[in-house]
Structure formats: C-alpha cells, structure tokens
Amino acid sequence: MAEDQAGPAGQEDNGEGKPGDEYRFAAGSAEADAAVFDGELVDEPGEVLGTIVSDDRSPTFEEILDVHEVNPHEDPQSATVRDVLPFPSTYAGEGESTVIYRLVRCEPVEELPAADGGIGDPTEIRTLPRAGDAVRRPRPEMVTAAMGFPSDPDQGLHVGFLHSDSSIPVTVDNGAVQRHVLIVGGIGSGKSYTRGVLGEELHRHGVPQVNIDVNGEMIEAARQLGGRNVRPGNGFTLPLGSLTREDLIEAVSGVNRGTNIETLIGYTFDSLSRQIAQGRRSEFSVDELVAEIEVQAPFLKMEALNTLRPAQQRVKALDRLKYIGRRFDWVGTLKPGAFVNIDCRGLVLGDLRIITAAVARDLQNLARQQQIPFTVLSIDEFHLVAPNEDKLVSTQVLREIARIGRHYRLGLVLTTQSPADVDRAVLKRMLTRFVHTIERDQLDSLRGIFADAPPEMIQSLAKLPRGTCVLTGVAETIRHATVVDIRARVTHHGGATPDVFGDLRTRGWPGKKPLSEIIQEEDRDGEAGDAG
C-alpha cells in the first residue's frame, strides 16, 4: 500500500460498527505501508480485514499484517524509571494526542463494488485508498464475500472459524476436494483432527470416503458415520492381479534383482496380467501363478529345475500375505455416504505401500470408468507411502492421481508431519492446503504452496496453537490465504495422546512417590545409618 496514515475522523456511529470505529486514512507517514486504525478496530495481525471505503464508495479490504503503537513520549527506559519514581506521565493519551497513534501495516486484498452496498462479488483492487478515506470495521457478510466463502455454509465445507473473529464461519468451496487436500503440521498440531472435520463435512454431502488408517484414528468416526472398518486380511483383500510386477517382486521375499528367478516370476506375472487386460480371465490366485510359472518357463528357456522350483516356492510363500484374496467390492460399497476405513495398524511398510498402491489404482480405474461416484481417498502419514522415491509404485500411483487432478472424480486428502520427505510432484499438486504449526526445517519444503499468504502469515505458523492452521488454495476455491480455527468435531477423535501415567496407576502404582520413598527400604535404613 502507498505511504498512508489514517487518524481519528469522528465519533459518529456509522451504523456498521461501534461508535468511534470510523477513522480516516491519511497520507504522509514516514513509515511506508502504514495506516492508522482505532485500537478497537484491530484485534491482531494477520487477520481482521479493515475496510477502507474509498471516495467512489467501493470498499477495499485490507489484510492486517502487523500493528504497533507510535508514542514519542515513551521508551523502555523512561517507562521503567516511571515505574520506580512517583512522576506520573502528563502527556495527552491516544485519541487526543497528535503524535501518538497506531501504525497498521496492511495489504489490499479485494475490492467490493460500490453498487451492491459492498456485498457483491469481489474484484481485484482497482482503487487504492486515498488520504481522507473512511476506515471502517467490515460487516461479517462483507468479510465472507471478500474471502470468497460461499455465503451459505451448507453450500460448502464448514471447516471452522476465522482465527481473529470466531463469529465468521470459514466455509470452503466444495470444489476444493476435487483439487486434492494436503494437511501438514508438526506432531500433535491437529492434523488428524482436521482430517476428521473434513471427513464429517464430506459425509454431510454424501461423498464416499476410503481412508487408509495407519494409526487407527478413524475407527470410531467411521463407525459413528455408519461406515465400515476393515483390516487387510479381515474384511479387506486384494487379488494378485491388483499388484504391479514391481509390487509383486517386492512382496515375494528373497528374490535377488536381475536373477533368472526374478525374470521368470515377473514374466509369468505379466503374462497373467495381460490375460486379465484382454478379458481372458478376471483374476488369478497364488496357486494359479505357481502353476503358470511352469507353463511360461520354456519360453524363457528357464525350465532348469534350479530356477523353476525356487521361483515356484517363493511365489507359493505369498500365501502368508493374508490380504491377498478376492477383490474388494468397491462398486457395491462406494454408494453416497459410504465410509470405508482400512485399519492398517501394525502393517510392515512394504505391505502398507502395496495395499495403498493397489487401493489407489483400483479407485482410479473405477473413477475413470465412472463406475463409482466421486470418492475421496485419504491417507494419514502419507510420507510413508509417497516418499521421494521415483521407483516406488505407491509414489507413482499417487503422483498419477494428483496429476490428473479433478478430471477423474477422485479426490485425495493426504496428511503428513514430514513434507520434506514427501515426493515433490505429489506435494505440488495438492491445491488445497491446511498448514498447521510446523517446525522450521519442514517449512522450507512447503515453499511454493502458500499461494497469496503474506510472509507475516507464514511467520506466524511457528506460533499457531493446536487446532489452528493457515488455509491456502487456488483462487477458484480459496481466494485468500487465511488463518482458521478448525471447528469442533462431532465424531470421536481417536488420536488422543494416551494417558500413560494414568495407566500405570490403574496397574497398581500408587502415584508419584516422595523422593524419600524411591530407594528400597533396606537401603534406606543403610543410608540413614551412614548419615548418623
């Protein structure tokens, strides 16, 4: 903003704010980018949108970056001295003094057309505030319009309230999930809770959801929403044909890369997969793969028993994978409002990746063929399945879904505390982001995803309380980066930190012992004896 400064302009009630809220913008400050508001008008930086009504009556919205008082009468030293010596200050206070004022640095974000009384569709800034323009507190519906939130919370995803003004609901356009959602933040910052809120909102609209639940946090919520909890091998299985060759070789333990055994297994797997693609079979089992190895071996001249038998034995060992079985009935299950929670607690990383990749690929295919309605696939701790490794199948699948984006009726909601460990191509394409407080070293990896968030807002990330986040996105869905207090959930959040100390007490420990009692009794006597 231009070098401007505003000062008190009168005490009349303008009908929009409290009496005394109207101030005027004034030029001529020595400090750039400054305007002065009434202290009442400004709660805290980063948030409240002051409205500046320019002379053509079209309000512009200014996002407040920081606020401080200018008072030439005070400095830390004289304030301290005055505390000690009985000399009261005698200068005129703020509001009367001509030299004491507050400086507010702000940035124009939107302009509302004058014709609609300031509630119409916002446009980019066309008129910069001028000296003498009135500064007013915006009405809540003006803030809603300027932020681009749907005016009716039922028309979008009601995720929370403005951090600065808890009376203003934050409603995200439904289209935000089609552009994929990233939820990041440090440990315990509220990511999974936010995921739960999104889950509730999506459910309200009937969006089917499939959740890969690494920590078992959504089990209760899934049940409450009338969904299904399944475990790999117990209610959830996938056919061998859902795997890729890479997945399969990964899953077959003890196969060295580049050996004849690997080639034979891979070749046989490919030929069966091809038969599925050609419609000549629908699925194949472990036993069928074992049998087929013998059929295919002669084509590769690998029928020597010291290749053939070990290849078959290794494949046969896939029987230990409980999650290999029939294909899950996605089409029958993913009706409007469905919630499938795949409880993946305790899986080894390799299996988690295979399952996630297979689920993602199945959903992607079904979405493409429009056999399922728009569905959201959500993955907690997704750095585990989409790390920075090009070769990893799960990374490749998620990259593909993220790339195709909103065209395929499949939305991703990915949660992580380690964006630095995540594949960049996936991260970059998550166009709706909830950024909770996060460690500085992880912040670097988020560069480029902050849209129009001013540096002050990004700085504030280090101090955001739990459950508060910066929300950014693309202009069509989230017009301006904003700080949001995530709303309370109605479903149960399974991520509460366990009360491990309470648990010890229920197991018989009496509670914290006095120091004098922690040494075994016989030793205690000894100590006392020594001392005496």
Ligand X SMILES: Nc1ncnc2c1ncn2[C@@H]1O[C@H](COP(=O)(O)OP(=O)(O)OP(=O)(O)O)[C@@H](O)[C@H]1O
Q: Which of 46, 129, 190, 232 binds ligand X (CB under 6 A)?
A: 190
Whichever of 498 and 508 has its CB closer to ligand X, that residue is 498
Q: Which residues contact 51 (CB under 8 A, 6 or more apart)?
A: 59, 60, 61, 62, 118, 135, 136, 137, 138, 142
Give the phi and the psi of residue 214 in degrees, each rounded to 5.
Answer: -75, -30
Min CB(104)–ligand X separation in Å? 29
**Token pair for 180:** 């994929």
- Stretch of residues binding ligand X (CB under 6 A), selected from 40-48, 79-87, 180-188, 345-353: 180-188
Selection from ligand X, Mg ion, none that 171 binds (CB < 5 to 8 A by kind) is none
How many Cα atoms within 13 Å fall on the side-chain side of residue 313?
8
Which is nearer to ligand X, 218 or 318 (by Cβ)? 218
Among 61, 149, 193, 236, binds ligand X (CB under 6 A): 193
Beta bridge partners of 107: 63
Contact status: 419 vs ligand X (CB under 6 A): no
Smallest distance from the beta carbon of 349 to Mg ion, in angstroms? 17
Answer yes or no whether residue 171 interacts with ligand X by CB under 6 A: no
Q: Determine contact, residues 5/101, Cβ cutoff 8 Å.
A: yes
Distance CA 270, CA 376 (A): 30
> Counting contacts by CB under 5 A, is residue 211 touching Mg ion?
no
Q: Is the dihedral of CA 315, 319, 320, 325 positive or negative?
A: positive
What is the CA angle 430-434-440, rounded to 5?
100
Instruction: Tell which one of 30, 496, 500, 515 touches ligand X (CB under 6 A).
Output: 496
CA distances, 152 to each of 149, 155, 168, 172, 390 (Å): 8, 5, 12, 11, 43
Binding range to ligand X, per CB under 6 A, among 102-110, 183-191, 267-275, 516-524: 183-191
**Percent of the chain that is helix, strand, coil (3-state, to 5):** 35, 20, 45
Residues 6+ positions from 368 with CB-CB distance below 8 Å:
408
* Binding range to ligand X, per CB under 6 A, among 102-110, 181-189, 395-403, 454-462: 181-189
Shortest distance, CB of residue 193 to Mg ion, whole angstroms?
8
> With CB cut-offs between 5 and 8 Å by kind, which of ligand X, Mg ion, none does residue 493 bind?
ligand X
How far apart are the C-alpha atoms of 82 and 166, rounded to whole Å? 38
Q: Which residues from 51-110 bind ligand X, rule CB under 6 A?
A: none
Stretch that binds Mg ion, among 11-19, 125-133, 472-480, 493-501 (CB under 5 A): 493-501
C-alpha span between 15 and 345 (Å, rounded): 57
| CB nearer ligand X, residue 354 or residue 435 | 435
Contacted by 189, from ligand X, Mg ion, none: CB < 5 to 8 Å by type? ligand X
Q: Is 490 in the site for ligand X (CB under 6 A)?
A: no
Q: What tokens appear for 383 in the block?
A: 């750095």
Token couple for 61: 């919205």
> What mask, x for binding Mg ion by CB under 5 A, covers residues 155 to 194?
-------------------------------------x--
Asked if residue 269 lies in contact with residue 241, where contact means CB atoms within 8 angstroms, the answer is no
Using the rule CB under 6 A, is 467 a contact of ligand X? yes
Binds ligand X (CB under 6 A): choice among 30, 85, 187, 500: 187
**Residue ranges in 334-435 assigned as alpha helix (H):** 349-368, 393-404, 424-428
Of the candidates 381, 148, 441, 460, the residue with the CA atom closest to the CA atom of residue 450: 460
Q: Residue 477: which of Mg ion, ligand X, none does it interact with, CB under 5 to 8 A by kind?
A: none
Q: Select from 8, 46, 122, 185 the one that contacts ligand X (CB under 6 A).
A: 185
Residue 308 CA from chain centroid, whole number: 49
Counting residues that bind Mg ion (by CB under 5 A) gives 2
Using CB under 5 A, list all residues that contact Mg ion. Answer: 192, 495
**Binding-site ranges for ligand X (CB under 6 A):** 185, 187-193, 417, 466-467, 486, 488, 493, 495-496
